[in-house]
Amino acid sequence: MANTQVKRLMLLLIVALGVASVYKYIDYVNKAAATEGWSASGGAPASNNKYYNNNNNNEQHLFTNSTGDSSPIRAAMVALVRNSELDGMRATIRQVEDRFNRRFGYPYVFINDEDFTEEFKEGVRAMTKAPVHFGKLPPEHWGLSEHVSEEAVQEALKRNKDRYIYGGSYSYRLMCRYQSGFVHKHPLLKDLDYYWRIEPGVSYFCDIPYDPFRYMRDNRLVYGFTISPMEKADTVETLWETTRKWILQNPDMLPDKSFIRWAVTDNSKYTMCHFWSNFEIVDLSFYRSEAYESYFQHLDRAGGFFYERWGDAPVHSLAAAMLLRKDQLHWFEDIGYHHPGYAHCPNKPDMVSQCVCPRSSDYMYRSVCNRRFGRTEDVVKSRALELAGLPDKAEK
């Protein structure tokens, strides 16, 4: 009899604890839902507006996403990736989906210089319910530029092999040239207005409950970034000099105002500052513009993608600085991000609550280039031409 009563008491205790746990979980869910209304100053719109999508229906047209208004956004996540990078790409997609795209359903576009394997396709499709597209890049977009000689390139690779990372890599140079002048020309991107570049093996530290594409469009932003480091000077020894020549040869292509003083000092010294283009959200009309195409062709004729190691990041950044205004550029401070080499973690209280990342990942709050971005203003066209006309000399 006593044992029966003890068993009944134990059963009642277990039930009571279970009910309490359920109510505790419901309370947690309610509080979590309430925090979706966060507002992050300096780059993240409030959640009670059109940038947020609480609709879980991901059935959309190709390259189109609409979050409630009548104007769809033609955008996608785009990656240039090898079959061998499947594991890293799957890890990236999982984070992009968890942090952002499960709420919006934007498509993915994967580009390779070889045919994608069925293993890669199946592995990627398993990570998302969004549309996925695979494409092989056109052969004319990949390979040695017609403006350089193979012999001279091989000599440059040997000379630079031990000078800096990827100094002797031919494939890395092909990638940089492709990302600088061809990725936006791929047939799979022809119907896109915006793209978000993603890469294998990166980390997204923060929830992104709003739509960065819509935020870019509605605020007439052209180029969005998360990290802005300095380039290694040895890799771009003649890039600014070559850029100066393009400016002086094409003054009519410069806008009335530009942000060029972020990239060069008052003494026309190249600052080496650039937007790290492994993460970029871009209005593709910029890369398709006559001015950008002219600039890329000028750089390609100079041969620096192969003879030096001009990266797509400094190329994109110099183009953005000399062809755009500051109010067309945007630092996504609230998007915590890590690519091997640098990491950014927001430190503002209303942003930190959305992130899981090492507090030591504060590079952007120490970055010389980010501080310069904050204090630099646009200059008029005549001043930009002056800066291009001055000889490159050390800043006093």
The residues carrying an active-site annotation are 280
Residues with Cβ within 8 Å of 160's Cβ and at least 6 positions away in sequence, in order, are 167, 168, 234, 308, 309
Strands (E), the chain: 75-80, 108-112, 132-136, 194-197, 203-204, 223-225, 257-258, 280-283, 329-331, 337-339, 342-344, 379-380
Residue type, 285: S
Residue type, 302: A
Residue type, 157: L
User: Around Cβ 21, how many Cβ atoms within 10 Å?
Assistant: 10
Angle at 388 between CA 385 and CA 392, to 5 degrees: 150
Q: How far is CA 77 from the centre of its chain?
A: 10
CB 78 within 8 A of CB 155: no
Residue with tokens 């969005």: 224
Q: What are phi and psi of 223, to 5 degrees?
A: -135, 125
